[in-house]
């Protein structure tokens, strides 16, 4: 499967679009999916949209939460978290497709961090989607994307 209607369609021209398609989602909880898969986002970013789609289960698997974290390589900020009222079973006819929007503050590296509630000036260089699941050894597929601006 692939993403047909990208979150990039929600933004202005010139955004960076970064995707990881078809990631195998296991019942090991939480599973961390880093975007980009290697390297870092350049230039660093402070705002945008993120999308996570979990689908195509092979054996019973349910999504219990999805958390989005941004990092500048030193500091990490939790940007958003989604948790359904009850575990969402991924089946042949049911899947989850979650979109987050975000913006965060930055300061020069000497003053950035948790004490000031900021990332290092320039912003995030990578994002981690933490996928929390339950089930008896099931798997599913996941598509993850970012449409981001400096």
What are the domain boundaries of the chain? Answer: 15-149
Work out the percent of the chain whose per-residue pLDDT is above 90: 55
Backbone phi, psi, residue 96, to 5°? -115, 145
Give the mean model confidence (pLDDT) for residues 35-50. Answer: 92
Cα dihedral 84→25→79→69 (10° resolution): 150
Cα dihedral 12→17→23→29 (10° resolution): -70
Dihedral of alpha carbons 97, 100, 101, 107, sign: negative
CB 34 within 8 A of CB 127: yes
Q: Say if residue 8 is exposed, middle or buried (CB neighbours under 10 Å; 0-12, 13-18, 19+).
A: buried
Mean pLDDT, all residues of the chain: 88
| pLDDT tens digits, one per residue of 53-109 | 999 988 889 999 999 999 998 889 999 999 999 999 998 899 999 999 999 888 887
What was the pLDDT predicted at 115?
A: 82
More confident residue, 8 or 45: 45
CATH number for the domain whose boundaries are 15-149: 2.60.120
pTM listed for this prediction = 0.89
What was the pLDDT predicted at 10?
A: 64
3-state secondary structure at position 17: strand
């Amino acid at each position: 499967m692939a993403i047909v209607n990208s979150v990039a369609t929600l933004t202005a021209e010139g955004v960076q679009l970064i995707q990881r398609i078809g990631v195998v989602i296991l019942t090991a909880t939480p599973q961390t999916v880093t975007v980009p898969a290697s390297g870092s986002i350049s230039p660093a970013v402070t705002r945008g949209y993120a999308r996570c789609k979990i689908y195509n289960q092979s054996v019973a698997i349910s999504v219990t939460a999805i958390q989005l974290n941004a990092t500048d390589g030193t500091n990490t900020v939790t940007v958003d978290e989604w948790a359904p009222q009850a575990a969402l079973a991924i089946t042949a006819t049911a899947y989850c497709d979650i979109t987050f929007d975000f913006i965060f503050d930055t300061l020069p590296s000497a003053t950035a961090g948790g004490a000031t509630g900021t990332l290092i000036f320039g912003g995030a260089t990578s994002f981690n989607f933490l996928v929390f699941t339950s089930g008896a050894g099931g798997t599913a597929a996941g598509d993850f994307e970012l449409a981001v601006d400096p």
